[in-house]
């Protein structure tokens, strides 16, 4: 049955810094177990951070990756809870960056060809802009790590643990690599490539990521227009179309959302509620 927002196994094409979105702990663990097992099988050293309240036992239980027990014994998989991480990092973003760098360096020194990192949904309150900025800096450190070493990062957003602000900001910051069960997005040659089914169930996350992509284009060098490749989208509903419209309406004055390869029904949906000048469709894939 295709009903559950089950995460697909993570593959090499998922990207080096990805956000895995899930509504529930079970859903998140299902996807994470597949991701962990994939990387353990590929001979990757994995540093995994668990929520302190939930513990690490699930990793070696029936829901965990089959290779977890052996990987823990051999040192291929190292697990730390987030409270330990905060202590080890001295409670600062800079301390966290140093901790991650030391983990990467140690893994490479041990001879592992690749390093994978993942942490469970932290439940950050994201109360103000300063905290959002701090979080953005923390996330950019993962991108920096990936530039200098073979590091794959999988952040996790479990909606059950996060408030709306945190969910929004997290999805927005990870617009370039988001895996949300029935849909995913990534940057491919400057285009924001969508895949899957975008409906009311995932519209909030999609809308946040879409705004993140718009912001990224606006803040970056060059053409501020956001080019969306929708040729792989199998289903769009009114909620998804509304997200596109809202993004187009709130785009900066010189910014346009250009949707490539959209199915005729998506165009019909958008046309049904009024196509803004800041949104246009192009038939080129």
Partner 1 sequence: MRAPTPGLEHLGHLSGTSEEFVAAVLPRVRSTLAAGGRVSAVVERRTRRALVEALGPDVAIGFPTAGALRTAPSDGFLAHVRDTATPAGGLVLAQYSVFDLADTDLRAGEEEVNRLPADLPVTLVCACAHDDRDARVTTLRATHPRLLHADGIRVNPGFHGVADPLVLPRPDDVRVLSVAVRGTVDLRSLRVRVEAAARAAGLAEDDVHRAVIAVHEAAVVVGSAVWPGRVACAVQVWAGVRSLAAEVRGPKPARPDVGTATDRLPRHPGRRPGLLDHVRLFCRAAVVDDGDEVRTIRLVTG
Determine the length of the chain. Answer: 285
For tokens 């690749």, the residue is 114
Cα torsion angle, 262, 266, 268, 271, sign: negative
Instruction: Report the alpha-carbon distance of residue 250 to residue 171 in Å, rounded.
Output: 18
Q: Are strands 177-180 and 183-188 parallel, antiparallel or unpaired?
A: antiparallel
**What is the dihedral sign for C-alpha 63, 68, 72, 75?**
negative
Q: What track of x and - describes contact with partner 1 for positions 237 through 266 (by CB under 8 A)?
A: xxx--x--xx--x--------------xx-
Q: Report the nearest approach of partner 1 to the CB of residue 275 (Å).
A: 8
Minimum CB separation from partner 1 for residue 89, in Å? 34
Among the candidate windows 42-50, 95-103, 130-138, 197-205, which touches partner 1 by CB under 8 A? 197-205
Give the C-alpha separation, 108 to 123, whole Å.
Answer: 30
Contact between residue 245 and residue 276 where contact means Cβ atoms under 8 Å apart: yes
Chain positions 120 to 139 lying near partner 1, rule: CB under 8 A, are none
Least distance between partner 1 and beta carbon 271 (Å): 6
Residue 108 vs 239, nearer CB to partner 1: 239
Based on the shown chain and the rule CB under 8 A, indicate whether residue 272 belongs to the binding site for partner 1: yes
Nearest distance in Å: CB 217, partner 1: 22
Interacting residue ranges for partner 1, rule: CB under 8 A: 1-5, 23, 182, 197, 199-201, 235, 237-239, 242, 245-246, 249, 264-265, 267-269, 271-274, 276
């Amino acid at each position: 049955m295709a009903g559950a927002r089950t995460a697909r196994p993570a593959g090499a094409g998922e990207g080096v810094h990805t956000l895995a979105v899930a509504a529930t702990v079970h859903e998140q663990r299902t996807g994470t177990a597949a991701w962990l097992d994939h990387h353990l099988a590929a001979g990757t050293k994995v540093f995994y951070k668990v929520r302190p309240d939930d513990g690490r036992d699930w990793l070696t239980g029936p829901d965990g990756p089959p290779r977890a027990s052996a990987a823990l014994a051999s040192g291929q998989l190292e697990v730390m809870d987030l409270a330990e991480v905060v202590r080890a990092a001295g409670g600062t973003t800079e301390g966290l960056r140093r901790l991650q760098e030391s983990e990467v360096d140690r893994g490479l020194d041990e001879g592992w060809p690749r390093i994978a990192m993942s942490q469970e949904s932290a439940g950050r309150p994201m109360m103000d802009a300063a905290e959002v900025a701090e979080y953005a800096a923390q996330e950019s450190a993962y991108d920096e790590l990936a530039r200098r070493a073979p590091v794959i990062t999988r952040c996790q957003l479990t909606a059950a643990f996060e408030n709306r602000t945190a969910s929004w900001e997290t999805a927005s910051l990870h617009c370039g690599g988001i895996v949300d069960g029935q849909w995913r997005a990534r940057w491919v040659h400057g285009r924001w490539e969508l895949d899957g089914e975008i409906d009311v169930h995932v519209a909030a996350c999609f809308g946040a990521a879409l705004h993140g992509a718009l912001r990224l284009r606006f803040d970056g060098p060059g053409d501020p227009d956001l080019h969306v490749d929708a040729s792989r989208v199998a289903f769009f509903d009114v909620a998804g179309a509304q997200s596109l419209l809202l993004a187009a309406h709130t785009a900066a004055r010189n910014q346009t959302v250009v949707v490539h390869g959209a199915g005729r029904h998506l165009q019909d949906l958008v046309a049904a509620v009024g196509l803004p000048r800041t949104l246009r469709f192009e038939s080129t894939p």
